[in-house]
Every structure is written in structure tokens, then in C-alpha cells.
A and B are shown apart, each in its own frame.
Chain A
Amino acid sequence: MSGLRDSRTFAILAVLAVLLVVWYLAAILFNLQPQLDSYKRFDLAVPALPQLIADLWSQPKPIVPAPHQVLAEVWNATIGQDISSKRSLLLQAGITLAGTVLGFLIGTALGLLLAVYIVHNEAANRSLMPWIIASQTIPILAIAPMLVVGFNAIGLTGLLPKALISTYLSFFPVVVGMVKGFRSPDQMQLDLMRTYHASRWTVFWKLRWPASMPFLFTSMKVGVSIALIGALVAELTYTGGGGLGVRLLTGSYNGQTVVMWAVLVIAAMLAAILVVAVGLAERWVLRSMGAQPA
């Protein structure tokens, strides 16, 4: 028994089970008043408890939808729909995913370039770094609509405006992490390279770059999740292209709570898939570099 209590999976499952119970209870609590009102409106007597709970958990537009309603909607909108249909959340998730990945790739590349420059140039370190940090205090998501309109004005439409917002968000953790990573080799190792009379280029490829790999993947995990946020919010304001954000917005206008929750669940799954994908890439790269499994 102590083995079970000590296992991580069991602990996670237990916490999740508690959350699920709380969710079902919340679905009862929050939906009670509207349900009672609707009984009154149709002159129905309040039914016995089991029926009442069943009604509470199957409202068409509940305040808090029950988990099984959300799951049913997720199922209907993905597997149950033709993938080319606009109602298919799989299609919408694909649009969001494309924007996220494109923005994330550009952002990672940009972050890497900036980090290389900053590490090798003291002036860049002193002048760029503070502004890179300050750049993230600008709520770029807030001007996402502006940028999208602006890019449209110069003929940039489609995926790229959205992706650029993801880029703006995701380059930051990469710069900060990689500056740290490129500086992570200690003085001894740098001195050794000096005794070999290694050029800066060689020091970079043979020492700094390999040493920074763990930092790269840690920052990429952060970067990919905020790239997703960027793409979602950009879609809130650029409704022409479709995507999960658009479904969220239309769901919110039409009061389709179940759809909104389903969109959020799918966005969460997307985040999980992306983070896991980066994690797998990390394992593969570190192993092929000969790192000891931790």
C-alpha cells in the first residue's frame, strides 16, 4: 500500500479525481437557480433529486457544463464531424496549430540569433538586453488586433500576422535562456579552449552550443506554450482566418458555454501535445549527444 501511496501517478490521479468531483458539484451548484427558474416558467414541479441532478447536468446552455457534456461536445466536434466542415474543431485546431508552429519556429530562430549576438558583443549585451526584457512588458497581445489590421494594410494576410504575434512572445524565453546557456560553460572549459588556440567560432560550435542544449529545450517548452496563447488571442481579433480563438469568440457571443469549454479543452490538449513534442525532441537530441539519462 505504501508503494501505491508513494507513486506519482497515483497522486496525480487522486488530485484529478478530486478536481472532477468538485467540477460536478460546481455544475450542480451554479446551474441550480436557472434550472429552478425554468421549472417555474414551464409550471413544472421540481422533480425528485436524481432527476433534478440529471437535469442540472444536461442543460443546453449551462453556466457550468458538466465534464461529460464537455467531453461529448469535444467528441462531436472532432471525431463526429467531417474534418472539412467549418464546425469541426479539428480543422480549427489545425489552423491555430499552423500559426503557433510557424510563429514558434521564427521566434526560436530569432531568439537564437539575438542570443548569439548578445553573448559575443558587450555593447549588444548592454543595449539590447534591457529592451528585450522591457519588450515583454508591452502587452503585445493587446495590440495584436492593431498589428493584424496593419499587416493587412500592406497586403500581409493569412497565417503570417498571427504567427508574428506568436513570434514576438516566443522569442523572449529563448533569448533569455540561451544567453544563460551560451554562458554556462565554466572558466576551466573556456581556458582549455584557449590553450587549444580555438577561434571564437570553434569555441561556439564545440563548447557553447552543446553546453546550451538543456537551456534551449527548457526555453522552447515555455516558448511553445506562449506561442499558442499568442495565436489564440490573435484569432480573437482576426476572425477572418478561423481557428480555435474564433470559435471561442463566437461561442461567447452566442452563449454556447459547452462549445467554449470544448474549445478550451482542445486548446489545453494542443498545449500538451506541443510541450510533449518539444520534450521528445529534447530526449532524442540529448541522447544522440551522449548525455546520461537523468
Chain B
Amino acid sequence: MTQWQRLLAIAAGLSGLAAAIAALPQVSTLWLVVIAGTFAAISLCRLLVPLPYWIDFCLAILAGAAVLTGLGQPGAPLWLTLIAMWLFAWLFIDRLSTAAASGGLKWPGVGLIVPLAFGLTLLVMWEALVQGLNVNHVLLPPPSAIWAKLVESVPTLWKDFQQTFLKGVLSGFALGTLAGLAVAILVDRSPFLKRGILPIGNFASALPIVGIAPIMVMWFGYDWQSKAAVILCVTFFPMLINTLAGLNSAGRMEGDMMRTYAASYWQNLFKLRLPAAMPFIFNALKINSTLALIAGIVAEFFGSPIVGMGFRISTGVGRLDVDMVWAEVAVAAVAGSASYGIIALIERAVTFWHPSVRGGRA
């Protein structure tokens, strides 16, 4: 252990000890705090005998459980346990990362545990701080309330998801991406057009294109078609400029080799230049996957049928139904992360030859 980790360990053990002592008068209700604090105090023996980082993991979980069960009685014991949990989680993450960085850990999933542990810690802290400090519910509801609302309104959320994501976002994303790809391939044939369109495309992708949403609603009506149109415009330019850059990324040598094979334009395109452009194209797809979701939701603020994630959010804000808003946000976040993840997985399969993938880290 480094000096820093030793310091963390001592602080964590001491705050656990303090929590256990402070909780002693209320031991009948805060018994889990006492147990967690005692174990934390015992872990101070690591100054003599080294302890594996899994112990830190278990202690953090124990302390987290103690915090969550004791939320009814905020006070010194609870805050001390929370601090202990945070320090143990930090210690665990720090030690595991150091071990992983030195290459000692080979089992799969080690890359996932660290961010997951960090996320869990944040969730527990969020819950404890919001509940314990009586934070205004409108400002930030606790995760448990959001979860309860999420479970309770699955049918509504599913309908909104269908309307916004499956109809609007997916169709707009597909259209915008394909249009960008097709126009890029066409433009690429003419050096003159390429010189003219590349700077304009670069500029256009810096513009706040979401702003055309009201115009599109006016043109295509309130239903998902107008949202798809906004998403088309938003996703078109990143795809266009990335594909144009990608098509020119194949090396001179490869191009010359294709010439010696007397490859036609199309053979050259499909066998060399498009595969070489794939890293750029996937970069655009990743950017677009989040842009499309945002644009789809924002476009609904300007008018929508009485279903849809953006509609639910704007009405939820209106009547201060904060839990519903956050539930929609949670759905959107999961949908956004999932589409990003799926695209990243496909990218790994398609661009298996690229150094960034062969190196093992995307």
C-alpha cells in the first residue's frame, strides 16, 4: 500500500470506530451501524497484517447497508458511517486500480468493477445526503423515490419510449446517418464540391441546429415525423464531415496497390476506402447517438401528441412532478448508454484491425 492508501485506511477505520461508539446509545435501532463500525475498527489491524482489497469492498458494502437502514435517524453516527463507507470505497477503487494497472489481474470484467463501485457509492451518497439533509424534493429527489416512480409507471414510460425513441429517434437517426453517408460518397467524387462543402459542413455542425425544431413541427405536424426530421438534420452534418475525412484516410500505398489490381471505382470504394473510413464513421455514429436522443426530446417541447418523453418531461416540470421527470431521464440515460454501447460493440467487430481495438482498449 502507498502512503496515501495507508492514510485512507486509517481515516476509514477511525471514522468507523467513531460511528460505532456514537451509535452505542441507540444500539437497538442502529445495530447495523455498530456492527459495521466495529468491523471497520478491526480493519485497523492492517497496519500489522496486510488485508486484501476485497475486505475493503465488503466493509464499504456493510457500511453502505448500515447507512441505508439507518436513514430514519440522521445524526452523527449516520454521517460518520457514510464517511467510512466513502473512504472504504475510495480505498477499494484505488487499490483495485493500482493492481489492475500493474497488470496483475487477468479475469474478465475487472474494467467494469471499478466504475460500477464508483457509481454505487455515488448512489448511496446521493440517497443519504438528500434524505439526511432534507434537500428540497424539487431540487433533487432521492434515487429511491425515482426508482419507485419508475417501477410504478412502466406502462406510461414504455409508451413514451416507443413514441420518442423507437419511432422518432431511430427513424431520424437512420435517415440522417444514411443521408450523410450517401452525400459524403457523392461529394467525394468531385474535388471541387469537396472543397466547397467540407468547410460549410464543419461550420454547420457547430450550429445550434436543434433550433429548427419549431419550424419542423410547423412543417411536419406534431407527431414523430417532425422529430425524425429534426434528428435527420442534426445527425447529417457530423456524419458528412466524418465520412469525408474517413474516405481520404486510406494510405497512398494501399491506393496504389488497388490501381495495380486495376480495381474499379466501386471496388476501390468497397474494398479499401469504406473499410478505412470505418473508425471515422463510427465516431460520427457515437456522436450522433447521443445527439439524436437529445434532439428528439427537445423537439417535443415545441409540440407533440400527448405521449412522448419530451412531452412527459415538460408537463412534469409544469406540475412539479419531479419523480416522473427523473424517471424519464433515467430511461433516456439507459437508452442513450445502451445505444452508445451497442455502437461501440459493433465498432469493435467491424474495425477489428484498428490499433485502438487491437490494443485491447476501445
Contacts and interface: CB of A to CB of B under 8 A. Distances in A.
Q: Do A and B bind each other?
A: yes
Interface of A: 5-6, 8, 11-16, 30, 63, 122-123, 125-131, 133-134, 136-143, 145-146, 149-151, 153-154, 221-222, 225, 228-229, 232-233, 236-237, 248-249, 251-252, 255, 257, 260-261, 263-264, 267-268, 271-272, 275
B155 interface: no
Contacts of A11: 192-193, 195-196
B211 A143 contact: no
Given A127-B115, A255-B218, A228 B208 contact: yes
B268 interface: no
Contacts of B211: 232, 248, 263-264, 267
B200 interface: yes
Contacts of A150: 136, 138-140, 322
B54 interface: no
Q: Give the interface SS of chain A, mostly helix, strand, loop or mixed.
A: helix
B117 interface: yes
Contacts of A275: 203, 206
A110 B340 CA distance: 24
B318 to A, nearest CB: 9
Q: Give the interface SS of chain B, mostly helix, strand, loop or mixed.
A: helix
Contacts of B197: 15
B296 to A, nearest CB: 9
Given A123-B94, A127-B117, A139 B293 contact: yes
B212 interface: yes
Given A126-B100, A153-B136, A249-B214, A143 B313 contact: yes
Contacts of B195: 6, 8, 11-12
Interface string B111-134: 100110111001000000000000
A231 to B, nearest CB: 9
Contact of B332 (A14, A139, A221, A260): A139
Nearest to B201: A15
B190 to A, nearest CB: 10
11 contacts: A15-B200, A126-B96, A127-B118, A128-B118, A145-B313, A146-B313, A249-B214, A249-B302, A260-B214, A263-B211, A267-B208
Given A14-B196, A249-B214, A267-B211, A142 B138 contact: no
B98 A141 contact: no
Nearest to A222: B206
A177 to B, nearest CB: 14
Contact of B97 (A122, A137, A141): A122
A154 B297 CA distance: 26
Contacts of A130: 115
